[in-house]
Amino acid sequence: MTTKMRPIRSLIGLDEARARIDAAVRPIDRTERVPLAEANGRVLAEDLAAAADVPPFDRAAMDGYAVRAADTAGASPASPRALTHTGTVFTGEAPRRPVGPGECIEIATGAPMPPGADAVVIVEETDGGAAGPVKVFGAVAPGQNIGRQGADIRQGQDVLRAGTLLTPSRVGAMAAIGRAHAMVYSRPRVAILSTGNELVDPGASLGPGQIYDINRFTLAAVVADHGGVPVPYRTAADTLDDLARAVDDCLHDDVLVFSGGSSVGERDLILDVLTTRGELVFHGIALKPGKPTAFGRVGGRLFFGMPGYPTSCLSNAYILLVPALRRMARLPPHTARTMRLPLGRRVASASGRHQIYTVKVEGGAAMPAFKASGDITSMSEADGYIEIAAETDVVEAGTIVDVKLF
């Protein structure tokens, strides 16, 4: 029987693949309103200014006594100043009376300053209390131990700009100006489509020649980690009709990522479906693993065609899909944590192909962990990866390498 193999005749370099993807990607313009409790990690879609001062009143910065600073002049342990205790102010309540000459009011940290007082003597510098006069053992200056109204944020001040990544502290700034919701850019919805008659969902029984679908779950995890909303679809069978139906379903989302069917076998048909409906920007990268990766447009959407082998699929998701997805989500570029370590064992690389080689960090060295493109443990047992340039055939043991950690 003659098969319909269609070998990839030419390959582009990894840098060229990245450049073509970058040229095609556009940030998402849709926006949505989310509760403040769900805003962390989102990208703000509006400028925010303060409608009022923060804090909205002068407040005590320490537990102690609200006083007129002039009444404490010259106070020392040897010559304390005695002040009349006239009341107490707790947080969340308004002062009931002002502080007059020779008086003090006990005050809690964060409580509003009573009229007439211009400083707080910390409790450790006092003695006495409600049953008698308060002795002050140290002088204070006007404004001492007070948080002034508007010291943090002034009314009308720009607090956050559109395009800002919301972090816990920035969410806190929104809470400080009374915002209960945030207008943010929508996350890109990523259709995840596995193809192949051999694939079975985890939990089901395997039939002859079948394997569990891995890529649907690894891709969904990567998408969720980098600002997207994974939308898994049912596995498509290796027929033109079923693949066409599956692609049509996926075009409701912002981008399609499929795994399997991008190679050169007789049943690798999904590219036939996509190229008759759209544009194939490239198919084939001088990369190991991941040679049969494809990228293009269909129905106004971008698509990424990932190899079916789990290691190839996941490594390409990290190096190609993640930068594109983060740009669509308006997130800052991902910067992997890197360790510089000696290579623990000699590694031979594929000539003419940029290689992504997984490693474990053991005993202060980067130990090779790559097995084969079809082995998920090449990734799951690794701590990170090194990149080997296309023109490098061998990396000797002891060579200092940059390990990019997962």
Closest C-alpha among 181, 160, 148, 182 to residue 53: 148
Low-confidence ranges of the chain (pLDDT < 50): 1-3
Give this prediction's pTM: 0.88
Give the phi and the psi of residue 318 in degrees, each rounded to 5.
-65, -45
pLDDT at 234: 93
- b/e string for 291-305 if b means 16 or more Cβ within 10 A? bbbbbbbbeebbbbb
CB atoms within 10 A of CB 231: 20
pLDDT digits (tens, 9 = 90+) for 351-377: 889 999 999 999 999 999 999 888 899
Residue 348: C-alpha distances to residues 256, 266, 358, 366, 370 (Å): 34, 31, 13, 15, 12
Question: Residue 48's beta-bridge partner residues?
Answer: 160
pLDDT digits (tens, 9 = 90+) for 76-99: 999 999 999 999 999 999 999 999
Query: Domains in the chain, ordered, with CATH?
Result: 14-29+187-328 (3.40.980.10), 32-54+163-185 (3.90.105.10), 59-147 (2.170.190.11), 338-405 (2.40.340.10)
Residue 195 in contact with residue 243, Cβ under 8 Å? yes
Name the residue type at position 16.
E
pLDDT at 263: 55
* Helix pair 270-277, 240-250: axis angle to 10 deg: 60
pLDDT at 272: 87
- b/e string for 129-147 if b means 16 or more Cβ within 10 A? eeeebbbbbebbeeebbbb
pLDDT at 130: 67
114/274 Cα distance (integer angstroms): 73
Closest C-alpha among 138, 135, 124 to residue 69: 138
Helix (H, G, I), strand (E, B) or coil at 135: strand
Closest C-alpha among 237, 233, 375, 230 to residue 313: 375
Closest C-alpha among 263, 273, 274 to residue 306: 263
Peptide bond into 35 cis (omega under 30): no
Name the residue type at position 265.
G
CB atoms within 10 A of CB 280: 15
